[in-house]
Amino acid sequence: MSMMKKNSFLLVLTMITLSASVWGQKAVDKADILLVPEWKQIYDAYIPDDASIVSLRNKVPGLRADVYFGTWCDDSKNNVPLFLKIIDTLHVPEFKVNFYTVEKKSTTGQKYFVADMLVEKVPTFIFFIGDIEIGRIIENPKDSILQDMLQILL
- The residues, ordered by sequence, that sit 6+ positions from 69 with a Cβ below 8 Å of its Cβ are 76, 79, 80, 99, 100, 101, 102, 122, 123, 124
The pTM of the whole model exceeds 0.85: no
- The residues, ordered by sequence, that sit 6+ positions from 119 with a Cβ below 8 Å of its Cβ are 68, 102, 112, 113, 126
Q: Which residue ranges form the domains of the chain, and what is each CATH number?
A: 27-153 (3.40.30.10)
Short-list 41, 30, 63, 46, CA closest to 133? 63
Per-residue pLDDT of the chain (154 residues; tens, 9 = 90+): 554 444 443 333 333 333 333 446 788 988 899 999 999 999 999 999 999 999 999 888 889 999 999 999 999 999 999 999 999 999 998 899 999 999 887 777 778 787 788 888 899 999 999 889 999 999 999 999 999 999 998 8
| 3-state DSSP assignment of residue 125 | strand
**49 backbone dihedrals φ, ψ, rounded to 5°:** -65, 125
pLDDT of residue 110: 77
| 3-state DSSP assignment of residue 56 | helix
